Amino acid sequence: MSTIDRTRLESLIAREEQRYRAEHPASRSLYSRSTHLFGRVPMTWMNKWAGGFPLGFSHARGATVTDLDGHELIDFALGDTGAMAGHSPAPLVAAVADRIGTRGGVTTMLPSEDAELVAAELSRRFGLAEWSFSLSATDANRWMLRLARLVTGRPKVLVFSYSYHGTVDETFVVAEGGRAVSRAGNVGAAVDPATTTRVVEFNDVEALREQLGHGDVAAVLTEPALTNIGIVLPEPGFLEAVRAACDETGTLLIIDETHTFSAGPGGATRRFNLRPDALTIGKSLGGGVPCGAYGLSAELAARVRAAVAGGYDIVDVGGVGGTLAGNPLSLAAMRAVLSQVLTDEAFGPMEMLATRFAAGVESTIERYDLDWSVSQLGARCEYRFARPAPRNGGDSAASADEALEDYLHLYGVNRGILITPFHNMALMCPATTTTQVDAHQVMFESAVGELLDA
Ligand SMILES: Cc1ncc(COP(=O)(O)O)c(C=O)c1O
């Protein structure tokens, strides 16, 4: 196995940082004069990009973004999935212009015709009977957890260690020595999440059964494959065992498809033939126009209705809702994306490109005898600094290497290629081309070569 020379890595990072600073004066200037922004960026996580300041954004189309210095980059980050439909695809532009301009009206507190059409399409794809909307996947998860506690009368939720479901209080917890521990860096938690949440490692059926055996978990909230700590794929039979453990203990199963929608037109739920009680999704559904959705099985919807009849409020100030949720603009965007962009036919070519991407990365890993791995889920793939690929969140977290990530990210940006800042994720959209995938491969091989060639 090759080992990374850390001194060499540091000097390469310094070289790339220097080039980045020199070639991005407009981005640097935007950052330094943004003194009214907390952290000099619109959202503090934007400081995560490598290089000391993020690229200033000018415009984007299809699978490319252009920064303020006029560099056009191939975008494999795609807004960490928010732009999986590609940037500003024509049907989305037309639907948004029609909604805002021609017909008029962004938010009204009234149902539009698009809402039922979108809900019917989500039912066809994911199998859940009844749908509600939010403005983000985070809120879809939050509200679904409330409904789960309502119908089960149980206080806790169970998540897998190092999962991410948005800024949902109950989910910032990891498993340490069999105990639930607040995740490092958890900001201003209202209560210790160990009191609200049970947590086990992904792919550990026995631990899951044991924790659900306490009988106090309202719902298991999980992605079908973890995607926020690298991609951690489910082992054969694991998701079926999760369903069975939920059934045996009267626990609801909520599947979060926000990222795993990359697995196909009906996400991993359809691809793996899952049977969730509820499903949450957001991000790419509206092509980047803020939106989210949560679907309930017919049985769960009936249980919620029965519980609500007992005096709970899901109409006004009971804790589930938002005045902008379900607005006509979001729904027009979702309708356009589902009916004309991320169609049934769109996913095959996207997946083929991801397969080509992954094969290229794997060939470099093998050529340089690296203990790295690449994992794929449909149109999404990711390289990780561990081999074999980690089988749970804890192992995957342990394989993180910030310096290596910074190096690869900066090396890419300096050569016109963008991958997701929080890890090494690459996503294909309908506009991504073979040429773009091959450009990544040239960059990746060259970055690794400079690091390892004697
Ligand atoms: C699986 C999953 N669920 C939910 C969310 C939350 O999405 P948002 O930040 O758009 O609310 C994310 C965000 O990365 C996610 O990865």
Q: Which atom of ligand 1 is nearest to the CA of 260?
A: 1
Q: What pLDDT score does 448 carry?
A: 98
Residue 68's pLDDT is: 98
Residue 287 CB less than 6 A away from ligand 1: no
> Which of 164, 180, 160 lies closest to 229, judged by CA?
164
**How many Å apart are CA 316 and CA 306, to the nearest integer?**
17
* pLDDT computed for residue 4 by the predictor: 94
pLDDT of 315 reads 86
Q: Residue 48, SS3? A: helix
DSSP symbol at 428: -
* CA-CA-CA-CA torsion sign (54, 55, 57, 61): negative
The pLDDT score that the predictor gives to residue 377 is 98
User: What is the distance in A from the centroid of ligand 1 to the CA of 233?
Assistant: 18
Q: Helix H segments across 51-107?
A: 90-97
Strands 156-160 and 217-222 come out as parallel
The stretches of 213-312 forming alpha helices (DSSP H) are: 238-249, 267-271, 298-309
Top-tier CATH class for 6-84+346-452: alpha beta
- For residue 252, how far is its CA from the centre of ligand 1 (angstroms)? 20
Q: Report the largest interatomic distance among the alpha carbons of the chain, rounded to a whole angstrom.
A: 72
Among residues 143, 202, 141, the alpha carbon closest in space to that of 166 is found at 141
Ligand 1: which atom is nearest the Cα of residue 82?
Answer: 10
pTM given for the model: 0.98
Q: Cα(393)–Cα(265) distance, rounded to whole angstroms?
A: 26
Evaluate: CB of 256 within 6 angstroms of ligand 1.
Answer: yes
Domain with CATH 3.90.1150.10 in the chain: 6-84+346-452
Helix (H, G, I), strand (E, B) or coil at 189: coil
Q: Give every residue of the chain whose pLDDT is below 70, as ranges.
A: none
pLDDT at 20: 98
* Nearest protein CA to atom 2 of ligand 1, as residue: 165
Site to substitute for ligand 1 among 43, 134, 144, 164, most atoms within 8 A of C-beta? 164
Q: What pLDDT score was predicted for residue 453? A: 86
Residue 66 φ then ψ, to 5°: -120, 130
pLDDT at 312: 86
Instruction: Give the CB-side neighbour count of residue 302, counting CA atoms within 13 A.
Output: 3
Residue 267 beta carbon below 6 angstroms from any ligand 1 atom: no
Look at ligand 1, atom 7, and give the residue with the nearest C-alpha: 137
- Our answer on whether the CB atom of 164 is closer than 6 Å to any ligand 1 atom is yes
- What confidence score (pLDDT) does residue 317 get? 85
Rg (CA), the chain: 22
CATH annotation of 90-341: 3.40.640.10
Strands (DSSP E) contained in 54-112 are 57-61, 64-67, 72-75
**Ligand 1 atom at minimal distance to the Cα of residue 166:** 6
Residue identifier of the C-alpha nearest atom 13 of ligand 1: 166
Query: Ligand 1 pocket, 137 CB below 6 A?
Result: yes
Distance between terminal CA atoms of the chain? 15
**What pLDDT score does 1 carry?**
85
Q: Give me the sign of the Cα torsion angle 238, 232, 393, 287.
A: negative
In the prediction, which pLDDT does 151 show?
97
Q: Which DSSP category does 54 fall into?
A: P
Q: For the chain, where do the domains classified as CATH 3.40.640.10 start and end? A: 90-341
